[in-house]
Amino acid sequence: MMPMTAGHIVKAYDAELNQLRGFIVQMGSLVEDQFREAIQAVHARDNDIAVHAFASDVDIDSLEFELNELALKLLALRQPMASDLRLIIGTMRIARDLERMGDYAANLAKRARKLNIADPMTVTAALLRLANLVGPVIHGAVDAFASDDLNKAAAINALDDPIDEEYNRFIKEVVAYMQAHPTHIETCSQLLFMAKNLERIGDRATNIAETVQFILGENALAVMRKPKILPQLEQKK
């Protein structure tokens, strides 16, 4: 065996921290692919792509498992401090968000198949419009992490409001469509849940951007609590 020196240990530790980062980048890339496929399944009414998108969920889940295993090992054996601790805790959080985003994308794919066996509906085009807003947010959040870029992370927040607005517009559009086409009510209920999935994916990407800020020491703990102003329920419609 090679004699272990302090230098070796530090090198091994650095390699392990990089491995954590690698897991996130890999998971992020899988989620992006899966999302693109799920949307393509709707756009092209292609059930083969839907089945593929649905299945890739498993790989994302096992990466989360490997990441957690390594993170807990590092927490127990390396007694990390400060920025390393934030990276380890942060990657565990991001992995959880990505895993859920994968679940939402898989659910999109599953529901895409139900859309595709039914008659085409014009209102589906509006779902794709919403998806077009969500795709860049997924990419942006993963990219902010990969490039350790606070500005990119902060920019994600600004993209969430347009998603919420488009989402609310879309729900109204689907409800109006259901009222005008009662025979499509069942298929339209799929669209409602698909829109919800898209909106949730956007929220999770925002979570990731906040965790990137946490990892980089910006706002430190504060970002763990979403800045939440109690919405004025009375004024909401």
Binding residues vs its own copies (CB under 8 A): 51, 54-55, 57-58, 61-62, 64-65, 68-69, 72, 75-76, 79, 81-82, 85, 89, 92-93, 96, 110, 113, 171, 174-175, 178-179, 182, 185-186, 189, 192-193, 196, 221, 224-226, 228, 230, 233-234, 236
Q: Residue 62 CB, nearest distance to its own copies (Å)?
A: 7
Residue 180 burial class via C-beta count within 10 angstroms: exposed 0-12, middle 13-18, buried 19 and up: exposed
Instruction: Please give the Cα distance from 152 to 213 (Å, whole number).
Output: 10
CB 149 within 8 A of CB 143: yes
Q: Which is nearer to its own copies, 51 or 155 (CB)?
A: 51
Instruction: Output the smallest distance, CB 191 to its own copies, in A.
Output: 11
Helices assigned H by DSSP within the chain: 6-43, 47-55, 57-77, 82-116, 124-146, 150-180, 185-215
Distance, in Å, from the CA atom of 131 to the CA atom of 201, rounded to the nearest integer, reads 10
Toward its own copies, which CB reaches closer, 78 or 139? 78
Nearer to its own copies, 29 or 179 (CB): 179
Nearest residue (CB) to its own copies, 36 versus 196: 196
Tell me how far, at minimum, the Cβ of 27 lies from its own copies, in Å: 13
169/14 Cα distance (integer angstroms): 47
Structure tokens at 175: 């409800």
CB of residue 219 to its own copies, shortest distance in Å: 12
Query: Which is nearer to its own copies, 68 or 157 (by Cβ)?
Result: 68
**Interior angle at CA 236, CA 233 and CA 237, nearest 5:** 135
CB of 3 to its own copies, least distance (A): 26
Residue count of the chain, please give it: 237
